[in-house]
A = this chain, B = another copy of it.
Amino acid sequence: MREKTERIVREWGDACDAEISIAVLGGAWKPSILSLLDEHDVLRFGELSRLLDEPTARVLTRQLRELEDDGLLIRTVYRQVPPKVEYRLSDLGRGSMPLVDALTRWGADYAAHQRRELARLDAHAEDLGAVVAG
């Protein structure tokens, strides 16, 4: 278990349960990684990297390690050359998918709502510009 989560589990008795979820799921690429593994069952490091937008190996490695340390995915190393490493969801990881999907849906709805709002404000700004120009 990575240090952060161990701290969470050992020290936070009760409060802020939502922030636990965010601490576990809230890293760069993490929701995408979980969704891809849910969809493809098992993926190698390079496959994951290509399916995401090619984050640097350093970053992808760190996210995968954290998800592994937090118990959401399982890493299998085949001792062969060239190396082969497979990633798949654990039960805990599969159990997080409804929440990941909920995050995705609300985020999409929120972005759509804000885009509409932004368009409205931009249109209004143009009106003002027209008035000023006229």
Residue positions of A touching B, CB distance < 8 A: 1, 5-6, 8-10, 12, 15-22, 24-26, 28, 31-32, 35, 53, 71, 92, 95-96, 98-100, 102-111, 113-115, 117-118
Q: List 11 A-B contacts (CB under 8 A).
A: A1-B118, A5-B114, A9-B118, A15-B53, A16-B31, A16-B32, A18-B25, A21-B107, A71-B114, A92-B110, A95-B109
> A102 to chain B: which residues have CB within 8 Å?
98-99, 102
Determine if A71 and B117 form an interchain contact, defined as CB atoms under 8 angstroms apart.
yes
Determine if A26 and B26 form an interchain contact, defined as CB atoms under 8 angstroms apart.
yes
Determine if A107 and B20 form an interchain contact, defined as CB atoms under 8 angstroms apart.
yes
Grouping DSSP codes into helix (H, G, I), strand (E, B) and loop, the A interface class, with mixed when no group exceeds half, is helix
> A20 to chain B: which residues have CB within 8 Å?
107-108, 110-111
Determine if A118 and B10 form an interchain contact, defined as CB atoms under 8 angstroms apart.
yes
